[in-house]
A and B are shown apart, each in its own frame.
Chain A
Amino acid sequence: MGSIKDEVAIIGMGCTQFGERWDKGTEDLAVEAAWEAFEDAGIEKDLIEACYLSTVMSPIIGVGGTIAADSLKLRNIPVIRNENWCTSGHIALLEACMAVASGAFDMVLAIGVEKLKDTGYPGLGTGRGMHPVYEARRTSPGSFALIAQRYFTQYGLSEEEGKETLAKIEVKNHDNGSLCPKAHFHNRITIEQVMKAPIIAWPLGLFDCCGNSDGAACAIITTAKRAKDFRKDPIYLKGFGISADAGLPHFRPDFGWASFEALVTSSHKAYEMAGIKNPREELDLAEVHDCFSITELLIYEDFGFSPRGRAREDVDSGFFTRQGGLPVNIDGGLKCFGHPIGASGLRMTYEVYKQLQGKADLPERQIPDARLGLAHTFGGPPQISAVAIFSNELG
């Protein structure tokens, strides 16, 4: 397999306030994220040679590249839209990185924007499937709850024990989100609150599910060689992996539901490119796809952060908290930012970018001497996973 390790760098990023942005439309959000990135990179918009856009629903469907072209007034350059469920943002970013690495373009914009709050309903609900019959009434919480039920069964956890483990993940993420100004939710929660919250799809309750928000995030990518012409602290792409499992997991013969090949292979491809042998020890932070609490638990194991079947022990010991051995979702994750689908991958990358630059918005949430960070999204029924690893150093 090829590698583009140390070939491209992010030289500017922007991220909007996430939340219920009733008074801002899709285009406002795109402008807000893009101009922060232009200012951060210290470049004029006219330097952008290509744009990779990630949006899934905005405004409803079928928008091509027009959202970015119209709102940012991009003229006579390619605007390439990516729609890959929840991984759309990361895949747009990685497409932009590959475009620069290929030499086709020198300066590329990757932008993810999603306006969920124009749809009129509060949840990531029904009818999101691709097949009008086989996926009728399949919901996101429902599909991930199937994983939780099976994980509990496979590892012999009672519903109480399983739910409590998941609750600890959400308590951690809310604690992190409480310190993150751009997050949608800033409330700290208790295990008891999580356990007693209304059920969305058993065993997942309200606090096990990410919020529904509006938001946009944006990155400007150039070659590693030119990066320091624009800023002294560019962030380099060290490795990436994208995997799509074959087939809707629901119908897949023998599928175990407590681990996903796409998670295992995408992360390990990224580790290999980045030269990481022991992610648990080497990574300084990870932003992973906590669309639901169970997803984060599964990722701990599939990514090799925890031994198979034993992520619970690391949750109990606080290994993934801000002060732990490997802080995960230090900005509060999807749990506190909500999940404007097309924007999330870039938003997570924004947190990694800022942490690696030592520029977290509040000093109390800055990870000291962060050098290597991972950002990840996982989407679909689910079956598609995208991982990107960044560092503030070459080599």
Chain B
Amino acid sequence: MTSVGIERFGGYLPAFRLDRGLIAESWGRGSLGGERTVANNDEDAVTMAVEAGRNALGDMDKGKVEGLFFATTSPVYKEKMNAALLGAALDLRREIATLDFAHSLRSGTGALKAALDAVGAGSMQTVLVTAADCRLGYPRSDQEQAFGDGAAALLVGPEAGAARFEGAFQVSHEMMDVWRNPEDAFVRTWESRFILGEGFMKHVAEAVEGLLKRMDLTADRVARLILPAPDLRTHKRVVKRLGFNPETQVSDPLISRVGHCGAAHPLLMLAAALDTAAPGDLLLLAAYGDGTDALLFRAGEKVRERTPRRTLEDFLEQKIMLPSYARFLSYKGIVETVPGEPFRLIPSATVTWRDRNSILRCHGSKCRDCGTLAFPVQRVCYTCNAKDRFDEVRIAEMEGEVFTFTRDNLAGRSDDPVVVQTVAEFGTEKVRFYGMMTDCVPSEIRVGTPVGLTFRRIYEGAGMHNYFWKCRPLRIGGGEV
């Protein structure tokens, strides 16, 4: 088999955090401790995957990407290719294979394994694997506290500069332990002693031990055990049972500061492990969900060179605390707040389709005659009036500054009434962009605040989600909304 593995990688965590104490206090229960990530009310699995994908791809030539896989248990559409939307927002070329992997906490590792196999078999050269999830536990449940929202992306290819794929061991096992019926908003579980004992513990152990045996390795040879677990206690128990040293060999399960991010969690933990891995390190990833996928990687020579634009530590550091559990409930759509002013724009599938290069791909037009760069694409140049003489330029990766803004109390959602309307200038050509500011503490925005662009939902209507780009401060942190 030719060499195959991970060339680039990147995680994504939403800016908002909820102190688990606030959830516990609301229900008169104990707190699991720490905080969990909470997707903003304009984020979903696709938008988070877009961010992770951009983080992983960095400044590489995206024309190389031949496949795009997306894994989640919280797809934004039940019928419709989520990966197609993702591919447009990432501005990948159209001649690629796209596929959604869904329905299982193993869909992330499943997508990764499928990509490794496809590249290994030579059917594709480079595949971007993305995973994102924002699952809901029942209000008052342990899962409500334990879950988090997040995403990760790995670029799989033959160069394998970051990590070479060594081998896998997979076990499939049918049991009703953790599930959601099609109409369910919240994750259902059976009695925890049963599901942990007969499900998680048994199958993780079987797969990890099976992989070590297959690769003719012992536990002590593994530099890093990457083992997503439903909670910290279970994580400790399974590490001990497998005979790994919790002090030196085991990756942070990202429960206390993030929460379990569903199908994305194994890939997020793998990306975090690669952030700090040394060349030659053996990394063993085991993901549970109706069985277990265990995958072994060896960190490559370039693991240190090809650091993603933002590491997991960067994301952990840049956060905004949600002020209340009530805000969490409304962001998640669990409670509906008093209706605000009716929103009177009528979304149109045809408009979004026609203008997809600007709306989804974030393309502006650069005049071939005078060089003026404008967004969205303009057929007639603002400056020299040349007609249909332009090249499309993606502006999403440019950085810029707020030119003017307002904190508009009339524009927002009823639970989140303030919209920071923003006019910003991006890049050296100072292309103008107008839109909403997201992931910010509104009172901290100033003329001149450095901003980037991020792909978000803008409003719901006509039974569709409607997506566009928004400004986002380059530096987030400290404040409370």
Residue among B341, B345, B436 with max Cβ neighbours from chain A (10 Å): B345
Residue among A135, A202, A246 with max Cβ neighbours from chain B (10 Å): A202
A149 adjacent to B355 (CB under 8 Å):
no
Residue among A127, A147, A257 with max Cβ neighbours from chain B (10 Å): A127
Q: Which of A1-9, A18-26, A247-255 contacts B (4 or more CB under 8 A)?
A: A247-255
Instruction: Report A259 CB to chain B, min CB distance, Å.
Output: 13
Cα distance, A202 to B378, chains bound together (Å):
31
**Using Cβ atoms and an 8 Å threshold, which residues of chain B touch A121?**
341-342
B405 adjacent to A201 (CB under 8 Å):
no
**Using Cβ atoms and an 8 Å threshold, which residues of chain A touch B408?**
137, 139, 141-142, 145, 200-202
A253 adjacent to B409 (CB under 8 Å):
no
**Using Cβ atoms and an 8 Å threshold, which residues of chain A touch B410?**
123, 125-126, 139, 141-142, 200-201
- Which residue of the partner chain A has the closest CB to B419? A137
Q: Which of A129-143 contact B (CB under 8 A)?
A: 129, 131-139, 141-143
> Does B325 sit at the interface, judged by CB under 8 A?
no
A146 adjacent to B373 (CB under 8 Å):
no
**Using Cβ atoms and an 8 Å threshold, which residues of chain B touch A363?**
none
Instruction: Report A230 CB to chain B, min CB distance, Å.
Output: 43
Cα distance, A135 to B409, chains bound together (Å):
16
**Using Cβ atoms and an 8 Å threshold, which residues of chain A touch B403?**
150, 257
B466 adjacent to A136 (CB under 8 Å):
yes
- Which residue of the partner chain A has the closest CB to B378? A247
> Does B458 sit at the interface, judged by CB under 8 A?
yes
Q: Which residue from B343, B404, B436 sits with its C-beta under 8 Å from A146?
A: B404
Q: Which of B402-417 contact A (CB under 8 A)?
A: 403-412
Q: Which residue from B372, B373, B409 sits with its C-beta under 8 Å from A201?
A: B409
A132-B348, A137-B459 in contact; A200/B409 too (CB < 8 A)?
A: yes
A136 adjacent to B404 (CB under 8 Å):
no
Instruction: Report B77 CB to chain A, min CB distance, Å.
Output: 18
A250 adjacent to B434 (CB under 8 Å):
yes
In this complex, the interface size class of chain B, counting residues with CB under 8 Å from chain A, is 35 or more
Q: Which of B386-423 contact A (CB under 8 A)?
A: 403-412, 419, 421, 423
**Using Cβ atoms and an 8 Å threshold, which residues of chain B touch A133?**
351-352, 355, 359, 458, 466, 468
Instruction: Report A67 CB to chain B, min CB distance, Å.
Output: 20
> Does A128 sit at the interface, judged by CB under 8 A?
yes
Instruction: Report B175 CB to chain A, min CB distance, Å.
Output: 45
**Using Cβ atoms and an 8 Å threshold, which residues of chain B touch A257?**
403-404, 423
> Does B374 sit at the interface, judged by CB under 8 A?
yes
Instruction: Report A150 CB to chain B, min CB distance, Å.
Output: 4
Q: Which residue from A132, A148, A251 sits with its C-beta under 8 Å from B432?
A: A251
> Does A47 sit at the interface, judged by CB under 8 A?
no
Instruction: Report B45 CB to chain A, min CB distance, Å.
Output: 21
Cα distance, A136 to B344, chains bound together (Å):
9
> Does A394 sit at the interface, judged by CB under 8 A?
no
> Does A63 sit at the interface, judged by CB under 8 A?
no
> Does B375 sit at the interface, judged by CB under 8 A?
yes
**Using Cβ atoms and an 8 Å threshold, which residues of chain A touch B352?**
132-133
Q: Which of B329-369 contact A (CB under 8 A)?
A: 341-348, 351-352, 355, 359
**Using Cβ atoms and an 8 Å threshold, which residues of chain A touch B375?**
251
- Which residue of the partner chain A has the closest CB to B442? A202
A199 adjacent to B409 (CB under 8 Å):
yes
A149 adjacent to B447 (CB under 8 Å):
yes
**Using Cβ atoms and an 8 Å threshold, which residues of chain A touch B411?**
125-126, 137-139, 142, 201
A133-B352, A201-B410, A252-B432 in contact; A127/B404 too (CB < 8 A)?
A: no
A153-B447, A199-B407 in contact; A253/B431 too (CB < 8 A)?
A: yes
Residues of B participating in the A interface, judged by any CB pair closer than 8 Å:
341-348, 351-352, 355, 359, 372-376, 378, 382-383, 403-412, 419, 421, 423, 430-434, 436, 447, 458-459, 466, 468
26 contacts between A and B (CB under 8 A): A123-B410, A126-B344, A132-B346, A133-B351, A133-B468, A134-B376, A134-B434, A135-B345, A136-B345, A137-B411, A137-B421, A138-B434, A139-B411, A145-B406, A150-B403, A153-B447, A203-B406, A204-B406, A246-B382, A248-B434, A250-B423, A251-B374, A251-B375, A251-B433, A252-B382, A253-B372
